Amino acid sequence: MNLAEKLTIQRKKSGMSQEQFADRLGITRQSVSKWEAGSSIPEISKLVTMSEIFQVSLDYLLKDYLDEESGGFPARKKLPGEEEIDAVQKVAEESSREWSEENLRSACLHLARRQLESIVRALPHWEKRLQ
């Protein structure tokens, strides 16, 4: 989806007419019409204001490959050990009992050990790339 399509969708989603949107930006309705038609592009300062009005990132507005469902950001790969951290947090949130300090310490040490093992396994790969 390109910038013109995103502007149209976000403006309509916000319940504004082109005239109302133009007034919020301090420009003419014709400018909004040209942006939405894709025949011109807004200045960066106007894009920043639009991102604030629509509560979306500039990345979302400017990068055609980003959609609103991703929150304006592509999904990032999890780091080694992050799945385990997420799992421990989920268990802790769902648990009806409180974790003792000893249980939390044990879980943290286990996760740290797993992360160190991942790093040690990756070292030969990085050493080869650095040579």
Instruction: Please write the tens of the pLDDT for every residue from 23-52.
Output: 999 999 999 999 999 999 999 999 999 999
* Mean pLDDT of the 54-78 span: 72
CATH superfamily of 3-70: lambda repressor-like DNA-binding domains (1.10.260.40)
Q: Specify the pLDDT at position 92.
A: 64
- The domain segmentation of the chain, as residue ranges, is 3-70, 82-130
CA-CA distance, 55 to 98, in Å (whole number)? Answer: 37
Return the higher-pLDDT residue of 109 and 128: 109
Q: Percent of the chain at pLDDT above 70? A: 75
Q: Specify the pLDDT at position 65.
A: 79
* Beta carbons within 8 Å of 66's beta carbon, 6+ residues apart: 59, 60, 72, 73, 74
Name residue, tokens 């942006």: 35
Q: Token digits for 72?
A: 């304006």
**Mean per-residue pLDDT over the chain, rounded:** 81
Q: Specify the pLDDT at position 9.
A: 94
Q: Is the pLDDT of residue 96 over 60?
A: no
CA-CA distance, 50 to 28, in Å (whole number)? Answer: 15
Q: Token digits for 69?
A: 């469902």
